[in-house]
Structure 1
Amino acid sequence: MWSRKMGMAERPAVVAVNPASMLASKMVKEGFGVVGNELSIGVDILVRACLDGEFGAASGKHFDND
């Protein structure tokens, strides 16, 4: 909800991103006992959100990478 409200402002752009669930992090391994998916899956969407024109008019929106 914060991202949506804050995204109504002109600047800065505010975008909520779920990089992906169950990635191969220490928290997932210890908490759920599974290896998880490659961390690069989560990195890819965050890099795109920062650098790609795809997110140019995305302020106030949510992106789910699952």
Structure 2
Amino acid sequence: MNANYAFESVTTLDTWGRLLYKVDNNVKKAIKLEEKAITLLRSKGYSTRFQDEVVDKMRKGTLLD
């Protein structure tokens, strides 16, 4: 069982997404996790600017540049 299933937070979703992107080269799953983090942030009324930038860079393939 993944710890993220027990407690989802923006931090765990972001970290998991970045790891999938960098280590596993699973861009599609990484973006889905970042989008889930964005949804969580919006539901709590927080800014999503940082995660929006991360997703944009993932889509462009420039996150690690």
TM-score (norm 2): 0.31
Greater relative CO, 1 or 2 (CA 8 Å, sep 6+): 1
TM-score (norm 1): 0.30
Between Structure 1 and Structure 2, the one with more helix by share is 2
